[in-house]
Amino acid sequence: MSEVKYSKEHEWIKLDGDVAIIGITKHATEMLGDIVFAELPEKGSSVEKDGTAGVVESTKAASDVYTPVSGEVVDTNQAIVDDPSKINEDPEGSAWFFKLKMKDQSEMDSLMNKEEYDKFAKESAS
């Protein structure tokens, strides 16, 4: 598997062949607080880079989830819809959101690596 990359909207993405696995970062969950609702894109639908591809809600507010790359949704994680608290527990592991068959792998190039993202997250939090 490839290196994990990060978006400015606080999504993480990793590649498994030509399939991208996408979720939200630990930093995002800490900012949101307790997540109590998750909505995912439909399997088979197409999503465009930087477009909305779901919603998460905390007790306080709703936030859109964006996709950092374009592609076709090939799988979604029903477990986090059934129990959204899983997102707080393991955001960068078992609580992935959806899997995409990527259209253009070069879209990965503009995303941040871990070091860059940690710096970005720290700056955007302060």
Partner 1 sequence: METKKTSLYKLHQDNKARFVEFAGYLMPIQYSEGIVEEHKFTRSHSGIFDVSHMGQLFIYGDDDLIVDLEKIFPLNLKELKLNHSKYSFLMNNDAGIYDDLIITKIEKGFLIILNAACKENDFKILSEILENKYKMVLDEKRSLIAIQGPKSVKILDDIVNGVEGLSFMSGNWFTFEDQKIYVTRSGYTGEDGFEISLLNDQADKFTKKLIENGAKLIGLGARDTLRLEAGLCLYGHELDKDKTPVEANLKWAISKDRVSKGNFIGSYTINKQLNDGVSKIRVGIKPEGRVIAREKTKIFNQSDSHIGEITSGTFGPSVNGPVAMGYVENEFSKKDTKVFLEVRGKKYPANICGLPFYKKSYVKGANK
- Residues at the contact surface with partner 1, assessed by CB under 8 A: 33-34, 36-37, 39, 55, 57-62, 81, 84-85
Task: Work out how close the CB of 78 gets to partner 1 at its nearest, in angstroms, rounded to a whole number.
Answer: 12
Minimum CB distance to partner 1, residue 59 (Å) = 4
Write down the least CB distance from residue 123 to partner 1, Å: 18
Taking CB atoms within 8 Å and a gap of at least 24, the contacts of 107-114 are 107/49, 107/68, 107/69, 107/70, 108/5, 108/13, 108/15, 108/69, 111/5, 111/6, 111/7, 111/13, 111/68, 112/5, 112/6, 112/7, 112/8, 113/3, 113/5, 113/6, 114/3, 114/4, 114/6
Q: Which is nearer to partner 1, 57 or 118 (CB)?
A: 57
6 or 54, CB closer to partner 1? 54
Kindly tell me which of 7 and 63 has the beta carbon lying closer to partner 1: 63
